[in-house]
Amino acid sequence: MTGADTLLTCRTSSTAAHIGVGISGQEGMQAVLSSDYSFAQFRYLQRLLLVHGRWSYLRMCKFLQYFFYKNFTFTFVHFWYAFFCGFSAQTVYDEWFITLYNMVYTALPVLGMSLFDQDVNDRWSSQYPQLYTPGQLNLYFSKKMFVRCMLHSCYSSLILFFIPWAAMQDTVRDDGKDIADYQSFALLAQTCLLIVMSVQLCLDTFYWTAVNQFFVWGSLAAYFAITLTMYSNGMFLIFTSYFPFIGTARNSLTQPNVWLTIFLTSLLCILPVVAFRFIVLQLRPTINDKVRHKLRKEALPAPAPRRPPTRRISTRRSGYAFSHAQGYGDLVTSRRFLLKRPLRSRPALFSQTDSPLAQNQPQHYRTIAEEQEDAQSP
Amino acid sequence: MVKEEKEIANRPDNTAFTQQRLPAWQPMLSAGIVIPGFVLIGLAFIGIGVALFVTSRSITVLEIDYTGVEKDSPCYKCSDADVKNCVCNLVFSIDSLFEGPVFFYYGLSNYFQNYRKYAASKDDDQLSGDLDAFTAPSDSCSPYDYNSNDKPIVPCGAIANSMFNDTFKLYRVVNGAKKLVPLDGKGIAWWTDYNVKYRNPSVTPLKNAFNNTVKPIFWPKPAYQLDASDPANNGFINQDFLVWMRRAALPDFRKLYRRITEGDYAKGLPAGNYSLTIAYNYPVLSFDGTKKVVFSNVSWMGGKNEFLGIAYLVVGSLCVLMSIVMLIVYAKFKFPEED
């Protein structure tokens, strides 16, 4: 939208439309200042919607789903433990873990996924506009998906509690000493939880850049580093009552049955997800899956032909609207802005008959930058 | 030209990071990875499951409940709450050599050491030997911080107060005569508990540190007299006290009492008749709890726990089954190539 008459439209856009887009141009900067997004030429709208809008929707939905999943699982485990601790609201995990779980251990990985994830890259996004339909149909995050996420959390929490519970019944260390104590159980449960969450995030991510892999594995390494530090002698001697878990990591993480339990729990949470996704991929592949499959096989489609960098010879920049002036209606209806002189190596121009979009052709762009030169020709 | 500079100034960065063109791997769940992966994981799990199951089977456990609920139980006479200093005798026999080292546990059930208020009811500063906390116990110990005469309780709190106080003596019956089996109580708690977490106040004799304090209400003797035979086993670093303070995660638990490793019993408990003399002090019937003794040996996977072995076997088989299902699905509904 351009011009001050669309100022009001942009401002009320949140009630009617999803976003307001302003084009900075000849009629001033009013629309730009009051819109959610702004750019310089109308043709960039395609990229905004099909590439960035689509990615944004995908990332937002994945973020929401993962965030609900990790927090519901975390909470449901406490719910199951309530049956075994006299409903006294005793936490399963170490209190420091609870504090740091959302702040440190799972913060950066989620951020990495939300910033960098893409399903197909920008050129394929432009080539297959049908990929935009899931966003319009609200497919990736709806009430149904929320309920599915809750059920998945429920299942994961059952595994994350009851497998350690069963494995720790009446068991001891390999030298006969205690391992079924509260602190070892907490450490076991929290390690299982974090490993499952990290692997689940990796499964959810389609686009594995070095940055988000560093975030994921770095956070897991940070968990072990921080935990071992907090359970060390030094921290206990300095802040005695804040670090009561001293010695727990040394005494329980050296036991093979603890690691076997962690291994079993993690795989039992992850493998059904992998199997389910694989089977759904075979039985009901979405347009998204098909394009991603094609992407792996074929080279990138030809990019939109690059037109020579244009100079906007716009002289009439001003901060005031021209709605009281005659406007550009005459210019538009006279069709003088259509290019008449032959192009050097460019295919067809603005032909109003068939839409390139419908034919899945790469969209070729035109500009109206040369209007000043054309102003002379009728 | 001014306009050129203005354009370049407004132009966004064109790096891979800002334009979201970072080099990346885009994995997709393909049949070539998922199906063999499931098969491999399934086979590995089955292997581990077999090892765990076989190991668990080779561990011997002997459990004897001595709560005394039934009338014909030897400890029935002790189960009455009014009887004090009751002693009862459990007789049992072992068929074949119980391989050593044999570990002797006491077990409690329906006992919620993981109850939140109970678990918080201790003073870590007191237990690490801080004398300031002796005179002023933390209020997390309440109502077991001061007694009715307002004297500080050391060690304060419900966990210390509820310390298990049944004692056991094991005899082997040989030709009608009872022969005492030596029980070893050294090093039954975690090394870090004994050496780092719990420290006695550095006052000699230890008794002086406890001046102007009282023992916990349910204790027969104060902390500095917990073990008359071994001076290094008194105060907060008494092994039985440490084992008790390491509170259990679940309501049915076992705690290590002694080890049987010395003398004639280094190889284990030989077959024969045994008699266990129990000083029954600890009341559990008021909350429907039970008490038992457990004799067990251990292996690389710890105590007898058949769950892990069975779970690994089940999950391994399910993985192999799933891989067959996925193979069938993949073969029939192959991913359509056309879009």
Residues of A within 8 A of B116 (CB-CB) are: 85, 88-90
Contact in structure between A181 and A164 (CB atoms under 8 Å): no
Do A208 and A169 have their domain in common?
yes
- Is residue A63 a contact partner of residue A205, using CB atoms and an 8 Å limit? no
**A84, A176, A278 ranked by CB distance to B251: nearest:** A84
- Region A15-44: mean pLDDT is 77
CA distance A313 to A373: 10
Strand order in the sheet with B86-94: B86-94, B272-280, B167-174, B177-180
CA quadruple B282, B283, B284, B290: dihedral sign: positive
> What are the tens digits of pLDDT across the range B159-205?
999 999 999 999 999 988 999 999 999 989 999 999 999 999 998 88
Residue A378 to residue A111: CA distance in whole angstroms:
55
Residue A132 shares a structural domain with residue A112: yes
Does residue B112 belong to the interface with chain A, where contact is any CB pair within 8 Å?
yes
Closest chain B CA to residue A206: B26
Q: What's the confidence (pLDDT) of residue B339?
A: 47
- Min mean pLDDT across A234-243, B16-25, B304-313 is at B16-25
**Cβ pair B249:A174 closer than 8 A:** no
Residue A302 backbone dihedrals phi, psi, to 5 degrees: -65, 135
Residue-wise pLDDT for A180-229, tens only, equals 999 999 999 999 999 999 999 999 998 899 999 999 999 999 999 999 99
Same domain, A153 and A51: yes
Residues of B in contact with A274 (CB under 8 A): 29, 34
> Nearest CA to CA, how far is A225 from chain B (Å)?
19
CB of A175 less than 8 A from some CB of B? yes
Q: Which of A246, A260, A285 sits opposite B196 (nearest CB)?
A: A246
Tokens of A329: 């209606």
Q: CA A310, A313, A319, A323 torsion: positive or negative?
A: negative
Domain for residue A313, yes or no? no
Does one domain contain both A15 and A52?
A: no
A86·B24 Cβ contact <8 A: no
**Partner residue facing B339 (CB), from A247, A256, A291:** A291
Closest residue on chain A to B301 (Cα):
A257
ipTM of the complex: 0.93
- The answer on A95 and A136 residing in a single domain is yes
CA A42 to chain centre: 27
- A321 in a domain, yes or no? no
Whether A249 and A173 map to the same domain: the answer is yes
Domain span holding position A13: 4-39
Do A61 and A19 lie in a common domain? no
Q: Which of A297, A316, A343 is the last residue of a domain?
A: A297
Q: Where are the alpha helices (DSSP H) in chain B?
A: 2-10, 31-57, 116-120, 124-127, 131-135, 158-161, 191-192, 206-209, 239-245, 306-332
Residue B260: exposure state from Cβ atoms within 10 A (0-12, 13-18, ≥19): buried
Interface list for A 315-374 with B (CB within 8 A): none
What does the buried/exposed string (b/e) look like for B49-80 if buried means 16 or more CB atoms within 10 Å of the residue's CB?
Answer: beebbebbeebbeeebbbbbeeeebebeebbe
Question: Could you tell me if A247 and A98 lie in one domain?
Answer: yes
List of chain B residues whose C-beta atoms are within 8 Å of the C-beta of residue A279? 325-326, 329
Which among A88, A170, A285 has the least Cβ separation from residue B305?
A: A170
Question: For position B92, what pLDDT does the model report?
Answer: 94
Task: Say which residue the tokens 């997004």 belong to.
Answer: A37
Residues A56 and A167 in one domain: yes
Contact residues, chain B, for A278 at CB < 8 Å: 29, 31, 34, 326
CB contact under 8 A, B326 and A279: yes
Would the pTM of this model clear 0.90, i.e. be above it? no
Q: Among A237, A268, A297, which residue terminates a domain?
A: A297
Domain count, chain A: 2
Report yes or no on A196 lying in a domain: yes
Of B20, B24, B335, the CB nearest to A282: B335
Whether the CB-CB separation of A240 and B124 falls below 8 Å is answered with: yes
Band (pLDDT 50/70/90 cuts) for residue A348 is very low
